[in-house]
A and B are shown apart, each in its own frame.
Chain A
């Protein structure tokens, strides 16, 4: 990593470690950690994707969120909403601006109203929808809508306990409605890469926890890490974690023409890795790992949620596979061995 990226990584890690330790997490329960958010905001991190940060920086950010299991919508605000808004040339709205995920049941309708627009319809499973002041959505593939997130009809969560709320709009005056240079496919792609990055971060923590636990826990008079059966679990966890991390970094470094391929490969890899990592890590930890007295579930429950968000491993595999079949035998090797770019090409 470059010095700047390392600084970003260290800054996030320090904020999460110092201001959201175990007791703060327990005390907060499902309350939005307002103090933590204020710190992130003051550090200039909550709108990073709108301040010229590229995918490489945002991947570092998402990975740090995953590594800390930080219960904040940083990926949605800094990584997605701020980026969408900046790309479309819209003013960043006040407060927390989350990003709708493009749920298949979403049905926003936009109507001209004098010099502005009013919007009606429903957005489903919006991350931190009820804690946000605004929400962005890409409608009809190419229109960016920025709305005040006022009417919450259902508070929900994902398996990791992160808010996934349903928002309803009835003739709501839009903050902005503009043609979006970022289409819904590109949004889903970036969402997939950033979720995969958070997953890679979470898996790194699972690996750390597993190595620590296996080294400390004694049975039959010795640490369980001295058993080869346990060692095989640890190495499989490490391998899949490294694959996910590499896949995500490749997606960030991809040249423009390989961006979709690399994004699909990243989410597919992270999804496949998460299955191996969660299963084996819980096996290493035994019963303590499935209780709220251990940190492992902070990460594994998120991995179980994130593996399906912005497309499952299976969904992205389908896209990749159609490409493989279309390319045929002669096209496959050049595709697989194409050099990544530097990640700076737009």
Chain B
């Protein structure tokens, strides 16, 4: 049976957090800026490099590859402070959260030496080439394909919803490297593709409020050298699914709308029994979800693979992000004004981008189906 365990912070971890908190307080005094909303955050390469200069990008990268060699828990503590403040973490986000760990796990020595030091410095930003026009939740059905050529691969296909491709340097691209015969999970590979390659086109797919976040990335005979294949040719599915514990469990899965709540408390009046009851229940949920998420970081540090735990926390956390918005909107009252003060603008932006919370990284319905199968299997095994 799955169980989440509380975990106290060590003195070193508390000290790290104090440093981050001071940095964040100096960079982002409440009311002086429009907070970013989680992983929808804008890219600010300068900010990413300032963070990197402090050793807070690619934190899990060991010293031999230019990193500080810190734990998943320490990364968690840094990231949650940034997200709670609504920092512009977009540029380095994917490289920090999952590219660095997967290159560490599966990459060749050459890839490690080539990319990890640059990720740590904030000089290599990654996006994820996963979804396609006909492959969303059913990711293994991707059709983008790479065929053998001299010294590498020729890549053809089309990716969509690729966040940040307009400013990133590389796309970690899931593609088919051998034709599908039987099981679709076989014959997939991950290629690191330079976004400046010949034959590669990035074009925006605008969000419903006109923002440029998503892209379409089209590959037409894009040459990818052999050494840019991550891990083994053909083991892409295994590698992608092992990324999920990193992708699904972090503070980005419950803190997206926290800045909205904070600005509400700072710049609007909360009073009366309804506000007390609803804010109280909200605080309890934050407290529990944050500690569940933290316990997953601890489990990763202990070498476990808490994939199902991460799935459940993502489902709970992203649904909760919606609940926070509903509550703030109720308590704030009045009509929403996308051109109002900072709180108004933040709430308006959160409202219209909220549907993405429970879609990205796998829809919550699919996550629940995966989790249910695991629970039923474990139950049968226990009998």
Contacts and interface: CB of A to CB of B under 8 A. Distances in A.
A245 B3 contact: yes
Interface of B: 1-9, 13-14, 30, 80, 84, 258, 261-266, 270-271, 273, 275-292, 295, 312, 315-316, 365, 368-369, 371-373, 375-376, 379-380, 383
A341 B8 contact: yes
Contact of B379 (A208, A235, A262, A329): A208
Interface of A: 204, 208, 211-212, 214-215, 225, 228, 231-232, 234-236, 238-239, 242-243, 245-247, 249-250, 253, 261-262, 264-265, 268-269, 272, 313-314, 316-325, 328-330, 332-333, 335-337, 339-342
B4 A328 contact: no
A234 B378 CA distance: 13
A1 to B, nearest CB: 8
Contacts of B372: 225, 231-232, 234-235
A264 to B, nearest CB: 7
Given A235-B368, A329-B30, A320 B279 contact: yes
A329 B6 contact: no
Given A243-B292, A246-B288, A320 B281 contact: yes
A204 B286 CA distance: 22
Contacts of A328: 265-266
A318 B284 CA distance: 11
Residue among A228, A242, A322, A330 with max Cβ neighbours from chain B (10 Å): A242
Contacts of A317: 276-278, 280-281, 284
A155 B378 CA distance: 43
Given A211-B376, A234-B372, A235-B315, A329 B266 contact: yes
11 contacts: A235-B375, A238-B312, A317-B284, A318-B280, A319-B280, A321-B277, A330-B30, A330-B266, A333-B262, A337-B80, A340-B291
Contacts of A330: 30, 266
B291 A246 contact: yes
A253 B261 contact: no
Contacts of B312: 235, 238-239, 242
A72 to B, nearest CB: 24
A341 B10 CA distance: 10
A332 B290 CA distance: 13
B273 A318 contact: yes
B283 A332 contact: yes
Nearest to B380: A215
Contacts of A324: 265, 270, 279-280, 282-283
A2 B2 CA distance: 16
A264 B285 CA distance: 11
Given A268-B280, A318-B277, A332 B376 contact: no
A329 to B, nearest CB: 4
B80 A339 contact: no
Nearest to A266: B284
